[in-house]
Amino acid sequence: MPTASFLTKIGKMQSAGCRLCRITRESRGESTDGLADETHGHINSAGCEGLATTVTAAHHSIWRHLYDSMHAAQKPKSKLKFVTLDKESNMNTLWRREEFLRICSKEDLKDILVEVTIPVKKIESQEARYNLYPGSFFVNRFWGR
Ligand SMILES: [Zn+2]
């Protein structure tokens, strides 16, 4: 299926803005200014407001299948421990559990991360989600806030 981005490039559409994001924003009564370009990458990501729920559900389904398969294939002598068989977790939810707090405090882990973190390019579509406070993008992204 040709995307709005492609159709705009070949002169068949006026705007490359994502049509699914537009419909979603219009249904919420929000501005349609600054829509992301409708590319295959965009509509297959959770960054697309129109498909975010579907893409996220697909991700969780695939993750659950992979995780269950890895757990089922685990050898009895394996030292791997599957800690989130019940659900997917992020660092923030893991560090609410006593067994992780025994490893180190959340604050100690944060200090270690600051030392070892390799700068990662901020993803523009994630900016609003994680950049709650100035300079908080990577910390919030890591903790899944
Ligand atoms: Zn979109």
pLDDT for 42-75, tens place per residue?
999 999 999 999 999 998 899 889 888 888 888 8
Write out pLDDT tens, residues 89-143: 788 888 888 888 999 998 898 888 777 766 655 566 566 656 655 556 666 666 6
Domain locations along the chain: 106-145
Q: Residue 6 Cα, ligand 1 centroid: separation in angstroms?
A: 14
Q: Residue 21 Cα, ligand 1 centroid: separation in angstroms?
A: 4
pLDDT, position 68: 85
Question: How far is the C-alpha of 12 from the C-alpha of 3, rounded, in Å?
Answer: 11
pLDDT, position 39: 96
pLDDT, position 4: 95
Q: Residue 56 Cα, ligand 1 centroid: separation in angstroms?
A: 14
Q: Residue 24 Cα, ligand 1 centroid: separation in angstroms?
A: 9
Residue 6 pLDDT level (bands cut at 50, 70, 90) = very high
Q: Which helix (H) or strand (E) holds 79?
A: none
Q: Residue 60 Cα, ligand 1 centroid: separation in angstroms?
A: 20
- Does the pTM of the predicted model rise above 0.85? no
Q: Residue 126 Cα, ligand 1 centroid: separation in angstroms?
A: 13
Q: Residue 18 Cα, ligand 1 centroid: separation in angstroms?
A: 5
Write out pLDDT tens, residues 11-39: 999 999 999 999 999 999 999 999 999 99
pLDDT, position 131: 60
Q: Residue 19 Cα, ligand 1 centroid: separation in angstroms?
A: 6
Distances (CA, A) of 107 to 2, 10, 44, 103, 145: 48, 52, 35, 12, 15
Q: Residues with Cβ within 5 Å of ion ligand 1? A: 18, 20-21, 48
**How buried is 4 (Cβ within 10 angstroms: 0-12 exposed, 13-18 middle, 19+ buried)?**
buried
